[in-house]
Amino acid sequence: MAVDVPDYVSTAAERGLEWHAEGKVEQLDKASAVANLGKDMTIEEQLQSSISIVSGLTAERDDLRLAVEKLTVGAASELEALKLDASSKDAKVSELAAALEKAVAFSADLEVKISSLEAGKVSASKEAAKIAASVGVSPVQLSPSDSQPSAEAVDVLATFLSLPVGSKERSEFYAANKAAIVKAAL
């Protein structure tokens, strides 16, 4: 039973085999170099070479140990700093939560005060009507829909303004059209 293998799979497999083979070749080269190390040297030279290799490896190990110690000490101090930072932020969050609770309570108090003031407020127009009634003047009431003067009210106002000031005609016209004149004037 033959299985069709896509080209990219066989290429990847070939590359993997090449990489593995190259690694084996390097490993064998190192092994042969170590084996041939002592063939051309005297015992004293081999000892001296071994001592220099060991001292180099020892120095490298010591350097690596120092680097690891620095990293662990640095990480420990960084961890402590992060713990302190987290605890200070937790304290700040607690303070802000308490301040927020106070603000919510204050807001609720203000809402109660506003609603009590709204219930007891008196409109300016009602107060003006009371004052006008107390001095014997009959106030003119305008409905909210009357806030926009009609074209007819504007014509009445224009007619009123065109009459001579202080004339009897103007006073009579005002008495007859008081509501329309006031409406147009607002």
What span, in angstroms and rounded, lies between the C-alpha atoms of 83 and 71? 18
| 147 residue type, one letter | S
User: Domain count of the chain?
Assistant: 2
Residue 121 lies in a domain: no
Residue 142 pLDDT > 60, yes or no? no
Convert 84-96 to b/e letters by CB count within 10 Å (16 or more is b). eeeeeeeeeeeee
Rounded (5°) CA angle 139-143-147 = 105
Q: Is residue 146 within 8 Å of residue 180, measured between CB atoms?
A: no
Q: Is residue 125 within 8 Å of residue 167, measured between CB atoms?
A: no
Instruction: State which of 95, 126, 160 marks the end of a domain.
Output: 95
Residue 47 lies in a domain: yes
Give me the mean pLDDT over the 1-22 stretch.
59
Q: How high is the pLDDT of residue 73? A: 80
Residue 126 lies in a domain: no
Q: What is the pLDDT of residues 74-108, one digit of tens each?
A: 777 888 888 899 999 999 999 999 999 999 999 99
Ranges 18-27, 59-68, 129-138, most confident: 59-68
Tokens 């009579």 sit at which residue?
Answer: 172
Q: How high is the pLDDT of residue 23? A: 66
pLDDT bracket for residue 145 (50, 70, 90) = low
| 70 residue type, one letter | K
Q: Which range marks the domain in which residue 51 is found?
A: 8-95
Give this prediction's pTM: 0.32
Residue 75 lies in a domain: yes
Q: What is the pLDDT of residues 24-66, one digit of tens each?
A: 777 666 666 656 655 677 888 888 888 888 888 898 899 988 8
Least confident of 106-110, 124-128, 171-175: 124-128
CB-side neighbour CA atoms (13 Å) of 46:
10
